[in-house]
Each structure stands twice: as structure tokens, then as C-alpha cells.
Structure 1
């Protein structure tokens, strides 16, 4: 099953920031589907299409947990047609929410045949469609009416480009769903509606009365056991109503642990209150504690690998100092640099809860090391431009080694002894590719230079890693502005994974 990143890499040429926004939309849309009682589909225009650049493809689908699905079959990978999804094309063309001709505003009926544009930086980059199962329509209860009203506001915010928010602090591994417990607040923070599950959750925390028409921040603050946490959760709810998003909170009261999340409702730029979803995670927290020791063990392994690599580097450095042969000393120094770059990746993993590496952090720590290893008589400045983003650890290690070798090669061969210069690593990332250019402003390439015939060990290592581990391409040529450019392209998403799988099969 292809992921959203894989499909965006295959069918679009979106910049990395647009991909991140669509990832945030998909990260939030289970709530939207549940509140809408409808399937929600994400549609994007296909780039480089042989049919005239007019295909609109479904790249993600979510079904509601609160109602029967309208699409038992998988829609991902299909194209929007004028017969089945005419509203999707109109949403792209008109840049507005498109509803069926028989739509009646505020009828408290689940949506069907609706589409809304998804905006990023003021530009429509995708569309969401909402379709409910027509056979399950019936008179709506107060809970369903409250759900649908909130869903309408969230849809308008998606169309406005104000939801989901571009705030990493709002992302959590486990977020409450509407069915866990749903509360609707008016702009003053008083409860307009509380679902039975939400009321039950508050009863487990010690509330003995109803929630409706109560100030939720004040009520929650009184129930929470810890005084500091009490003030914090009350502030969180009140600031959400003033459009100051914060991180979802875990609160404890009378032995119960609740995960609480608040979202401001701001359709068309006007604050219309907020929704609060609350989940009883008492039992989940008990199981999580058992997993913490396993996570700590994995991080400790990475930490020990890092320490062992640093020990190896120290031993090589000591041997280099005792070696009188200049060629052997240089070879040992290069080995120290390579081992140190691998140790940096494991150091990052030892501080992470997953197996992904923030390459910007690693590269920024690598830059001073490369500058120190360079000859003291050669004042070379190394710097980074752009963002490398996050990669899985199995790809981050070879990429960091490639960058190390390319920068070191430029430091050693691009400048005359004592000549000042600059080596710049420039990165740009899209849905399909990570493009890196290592540029130096030195003397340029020798007239007879060919990358495939170079006998330098560093370049041979680079060619092997780029081809075998990264599935990418590398070119070294003269820069239009003088100096030399080493141009690296690494595939992301499904294309890169497929190539690695083929190479693994060939090695087997």
C-alpha cells in the first residue's frame, strides 16, 4: 500500500512545504470525517500527465468511525470524472466550497457530493470531497447536529487555509477522536454541547454535575489534581479561544488520566468558539509505561554504538599522531572523519524516539568538524543553505557520508595552499527529490576530469553510496559562477524505495 508521500512523489511536483501541509491535513482529517459522518477523499492534480495535464487523482481516503462508509472499495489511485466527482473539478476551478444543487444550508444533514479547496500559501493545491452513505440518513440527534455544525466550520477553515495549523507543537502520537468525547464551546468558553462520552470522562475525573452552560476552563482546572497542571490546562483552553494554539495536554484527576485537545473554530476569519475532544487514556498510559523501557533500550544501543565509534576514531587519531609517513597519516585522518560522521547519526538517533534523523541538525554539527579537519593553512569556510529535512536512519547514514566526502574533496582539491574560499551545501526538497549542490568557489576542475574514471578513494566511496544505498545520481561539473558544483539527486517516496528493493534483490 503506497503512502501519501509515495503518491505525491509519483504524481505531483509539489514543493516540500506543500507536501508537509497535505501531510498535516491527512493527520487531522479523521476528526473531520467523524464529525461529518462522511468519507473524505484527498484529490491532487497530476503533473507531467500524458492526457493534457488535466487528471485529478485521489491520493488518500479516510472513512468515518461514526457512520457507514460511502466507499467500501478503495478509491485511492482513481481519477475524478465529471460523472462521479464533478464537484472536485469545480472546487479547483472556482477555489470555493462546492455543494450539490439540492443543498440546504444548516439542514443538519450529513454532506454528500461536496468538495472544498485545500489552500497553502494562498494557492489551491488540492481538494477534499465529502460523501456520506445515503442509505443511512435519518433524523439527526443533538449529538449529530453538534458534530455537523463543527464540521462545517472546520471545512471552511481548510478552504481558507487556516486549518490545520502550521505548528509542530500541535502534533501528538495519540490524539482524541470525536467519539471519545466531544465538547462544543461558544466564543466565551462556555459549554454549548457535551457528548455522553465527554460527560462520562469528566465524571471519572470527579465532576458531579452537568457540563452545559459551564465555563470549561474553570471546571477542568478545579478537577485537576496538580495545582500547576490545573493552571496550565485552564490557560490552554482560554488561549485556544483567542486563537493561540497549544499542545494537547494529558491531565490527571482522581487516578484517571485524560488526553485533552482544543481546536479554535474560525470560519472566514471570525472566531466562532472551539471544540474540545477528550479521551480516557488511563489504561493506555499503563501499557505505555511498559514500552518506555524498550524505547530507552533502543536509544541506549544507539548511544553505545556512538561511543564505540568515537573510541575507534580516537584510536585512529592516536595512531595518526604516532605515524611518520605522511600518506599513512592522511589516510588515518580521513578514516577519523568518516567514522565521526557515522557517529553523529547514531548520536542523533540516541536522542530520538523514532528511527528518523533530522539531517539539518547533523549537517550543522558536521560543518565545524569538516572545517577543523581541513588544513590549518587553508582558511576555508563551510556552510549550509536550505533544508535537508528528515530521512529514515538507513538512508541518513550514507547521505551524511556522501556529503562529508564531497565537502572534504572540495576542501582538499579546489583551492591553492593558503587560499581562502567557501564551500556551500545547498539543499532543496520536493515531493519527489532531495536535491543537493556542493559548490566551491575554487580553481575549477582539471581539463581531463571524469567522475567515472577518478581514482580518488573519496569519490569512489561517493559513487558507491549514491548508486547502491541511495538510488540517486551524482554529477560533478564546472559552475557557471566559477568553481565546481557537485550535484546530488536522491529520490524520495516510493520511487526511491522501489529502486532500493530492486538492488537488494540483485544482491541476494
Structure 2
């Protein structure tokens, strides 16, 4: 019986004796069978005369063990549990014989539960999840198509500054597309930011870094999981900070390293992006918009308004040169399955 799922207060109970006759039928069981057209009492009726799927009953007798089965009864879905009953001298017990002198077979205790509504809700959720995944898949495809069109346009532009702006726009679009790609493959709404960051790093390496520059990108830390609404903002933040490090830290020099470190600490997410390139300008002030380019303004807005966190940008404290960007924000609760 330990292999059976728990019974509930809405389960109907029946007892079928060794001759296959119904000796006890609870009120709940009567109501369940009434849905199938059995208007009269089922007492003293043969289990085989009901015209229903009583395979669980027969399987319990043939296998001499407890048995559970989900069956369709017309438009209804029922779960039946069957427990063989043994006993001597009129004292039945719910156990199986273990020796040749074990108690005699007395009958089968049956429980019936109607799970039609719960199964339909589960099916509706599966359909909804499939539709959401398909939407994310189409959004991802559309974003990638837009990015491809912008890349084609970028190749035709002669002005280096205009081309750079288009390339930055492409990377922003692809950062959002990465999140939708994960959501299109996963039924859940929880995303590993480490996997997202790795994709963005790959886009950065192949999209905006000149191979002759010799800039190395590394990903560290165990990362953390985010709900979808935080993951999209986080992906854009990582993309902007990487682009900022490449554009300003290594504009006039070759060789160097950019490290992305992802840490969870006291239910807070910490994203640190540090480079060993050029430091900040002497007059740089993160609180003055005149000091910021578009990328850093995007980071500030996303961190403050979407992630409800903080953003710091300082000269590196561990190296003699370089910049360290740190974003901290509280993790939203992960939905329970």
C-alpha cells in the first residue's frame, strides 16, 4: 500500500467481497457512479455488472498486491486504488499473505477519485506553456532577423562612427534575443544568468572585438538564476558594460583582459565586470549625465528602475590600471513548480 498515492476526503470507498459482490459503498462512491448512470444503490451488485473499467480490482486479485490505475469513464477521468483484504474468523486485515497458513482472501477495498478537473487544468497549463514557448521562439527569430538586417546595413555605411552605433544596436538586440531563446527551450520562467552571460560574451568576441586587439574575455563565478523579467534587464546590463569596457578601455591599446564575475550573496545578485585597460577620465562622475554615454545611461536606468539595485563604476582597486563596474540587486523569489 505504500506504493499508492494518498487518498483524499473526496474519494469514494467500496468493498467487494471474495465473490465479486459489492458489500459496502460510501455516499461519495454512490455519487461518482451516479454520474455514469447508476441511479440505484450499488449494494449487492456484482462488480462485473457495472459496465465500468474495474481493471484495478482484477489486477489486485491476480497479482495479489495493491494496485492503482487511472482510467477514462466516458468524459470523466478516475483514479482507482485496489487493496486486497485478508482475514480469519471474521477479522479482516489490509495485508498480503506471507505463508501457507496465512489468512484467507476476503475481498478488495476499492477507492475511486474523480480527477477530471485537475487533469483538464494540467492540460490547459501544458497548452499555455507550449504557446508561451512558441511566442518566445518567434520573438527570438524576429529579433535575430532585425539584427541581421542592421548588420547588412552596417556593412554599407562608410562612416566609422555610424557603423559603430549600428553594431552596438545589433548587440543590444541580440542580448534580448538570448533571453527569449532560453525561454523558448525551457517550460519554466527561470533563467541561468551564467549561460546568458556566456552567450553575450560570445557575441561580443565575434561581433565587436577586433581580433588583432588581442583582448581576452573570461567568465567567473557560479552565477545565479533569475526570473524572466530580471534576466532581460540583466542581459542588457552585461552587454552594455562589456561594450563600454571594449570601447573605452582598449581604444588605443592592444592586449588585455575583461573578466565577468557573477556571484550570489545574501539573496543579492552581484555582477562585476573588470578590465585592465585604460582607467576612468579624471573628470568622470557617474552622477553627472554629461559624463555618461548612451550605454552607461542605459545601465543606470535598468539597474535603478528594473532591477531596483545599485551601480558603481570606479578605477580598479586590484590593478594599477583598469575599470571595475559592479551591479548589485535583490533577487526576486523563484516560482515554485
TM-aligned CA deviation for residue 338 of structure 1? 0.2
Instruction: Work out whether residues 431 and 492 of structure 1, in 8 Å CA contact, stay in contact via their aligned partners in 2.
Output: no
Ranges in structure 1 where 5+ consecutive residues have no aligned partner: 1-142, 147-175, 181-200, 224-251, 259-278, 495-508
Of 307, 316, 324, 2:141 maps to 307
Deviations for 1:416-437, whole angstroms, at most 9, x for unmatched residues? 5451111111121134311111
**Shift in Å at residue 311 of structure 1?**
1.1
> 2:60 aligns to what?
207
Match of 2:90 in 1: none
Question: Is contact 1:206–1:253 with CA below 8 Å preserved after alignment?
Answer: no
2:313, 2:324 within 8 Å by CA — same for their partners in 1?
Answer: yes
Return the offset for 1:257: 9.3
Partner of 1:376: 211
Distance 1:405 1:204, change over 3 A: farther
Query: Which of 443, 446, 470 is the aligned partner of 2:307?
Result: 470
Query: Residue 431 of structure 1 contacts residue 493 of structure 1 at CA under 8 Å; is this kept in 2?
Result: no
Distance 1:202 1:315, change over 3 A: same
Which residue of structure 1 lines up, in the alignment, with residue 293 of structure 2? 456
1: CA distance, partners of 2:282 / 2:300: 21
SS at match of 2:325: strand
Cα separation, 2, equivalents of 1:327 and 1:458: 15
The verdict on how the C-alpha distance between 1:419 and 1:204 changes in structure 2, with shifts beyond 3 A counting, is farther
Structure 1 or 2: more strand by fraction: 2
Q: What TM-score do the two structures reach when normalised by structure 1?
A: 0.44
Contact 2:224 2:263 in 1 (8 A): no
What is the rounded CA distance, in whole Å, between the counterparts of 2:58 and 2:252 in structure 1? 72
| Corresponding residue for residue 358 of structure 1 | 192
- Aligned to 1:448, what secondary structure does the other structure show? coil
The match for 2:328 is 489
| Partner SS state of residue 443, structure 1 | coil
- Specify whether residues 435 and 289 from structure 1 end up closer, same or farther in structure 2 by C-alpha distance, changes over 3 A only: same
Q: Distance in 1 between matches of 2:233 and 2:225?
A: 14
Q: TM-score, normalised by structure 2?
A: 0.64
Once the two structures are overlaid, the 10-residue window that deviates more, 425-434 or 414-423, is 414-423
What are the within-5 Å matches in structure 2 for residues 16-55 of structure 1? none
From 285, 297, 300, the equivalent of 2:131 is 297
Does the 8 Å CA contact 2:192/2:226 hold for their aligned counterparts? yes
Q: Distance in 1 between matches of 2:171 and 2:7?
A: 54
Q: 1:178 deviation in Å? A: 4.6
C-alpha change, 1:282 and 1:481, in structure 2 (3 Å) is: same
From the superposition, tell whether residues 287 and 433 of structure 1 become closer, same or farther in structure 2 (CA, over 3 Å): closer
* Cα distance, 1:369 vs structure 2: 0.7
CA contact (8 A) 1:378 1:417 kept: no
Report the Cα distance in structure 2 between the residues aligned to 1:436 and 1:422, rounded to whole angstroms. Answer: 17
Q: Deviations over 1:191-244 (max 9, x none)?
A: xxxxxxxxxx99368222686xx7xxxx98xx9xxxxxxxxxxxxxxxxxxxxx
1:402 to 220, 226, 237: 237
Structure 1 residues 493 and 290: alpha-carbon distance in aligned structure 2, compared to 1, 3 A threshold:
closer
Q: Report how many residues are paired.
A: 249
Instruction: Identify the match of residue 330 of structure 1 among 151, 156, 164.
Output: 164
CA shift in 2, pair 1:207/1:311, >3 Å: same
- State the match for 1:414 in structure 2: 249
RMSD: 3.5
Distance change in 2, residues 1:253/1:306 (3 Å)? same
- Structure 1 residue 348 displacement after superposition: 0.9
String of CA shifts for 1:310-332, please: whole Å, max 9, x gaps. Answer: 11111111111111111111100
- 2:261 equivalent among 422, 426, 434: 426
**Distance (whole Å) between structure 2 residues aligned to residue 294 and residue 493 of structure 1:** 23
**Alpha-carbon deviations, 1:148-181, whole Å to 9, x = none?**
xxxxxxxxxxxxxxxxxxxxxxxxxxxx97546x
Structure number with bigger Rg: 2
